[in-house]
Amino acid sequence: MANYSIQESTKAFLRPLEGKMLVAYWDYSRYSIAYGSGTLLNGSKVQKGDRITEQEAELLLSRDIQEAQNYVNYYVKSDISRAQNDALVSFVYNCGAGNFKGSTLLSTVNSNPNNYEAIRSAFLHPNWITAGRESRRIKEANYYSSGGAVNATNPFFLVAIIIAIIWLIKRRKK
């Protein structure tokens, strides 16, 4: 069962995936700010023209990651590592708890959290790679299977890169 609290590793993994904007921007279907937050610290919806400080951006990130972490803790029933947790938190942060709850990703993690091939496939399901999110899903899948050490000396990373390349080649041939 997942029972993690957010740590700097969670934030460090998610920051570059989300990007930071201190001014409200249009994000798919709503205005967002900071690291993709749809609400300000006071709970009001982000509106065009809203501005925040660096400190407020970090507070929003902590608040929103904590919400995603709570869902991962609630839904994941198997033992997972910190890196696996952080990858799943990133997924929930980006795709939402409702999508995670009924996903193949969650059922695969709960049945066998170390079935990296099936989990990679679940991260890369067509439902989750829309709107330019393919690169993010690959990074999450790599991080999940790497134990958090995404570098060339980690054998899981090398296998993950090879699988990703094969998957991309097959996908482009369709």
Active site residues: 18, 27
Task: Identify the residue whose tokens are 């029972």.
Answer: 3
Helix ranges restricted to H, the chain: 8-18, 54-75, 82-95, 97-101, 104-111, 116-123, 134-146, 155-173
What is the C-alpha separation between 161 and 43, in angstroms, rounded? 40
End-to-end CA gap in the chain = 39
How far is C-alpha 148 from the geometric centre of its chain's CA atoms? Answer: 13
Contact of 54 with 69, CB cutoff 8 Å: no
Residue type, 65: I
What Cα–Cα distance (Å) separates residue 148 from each residue in 5, 15, 112, 118, 163? 16, 15, 18, 18, 18
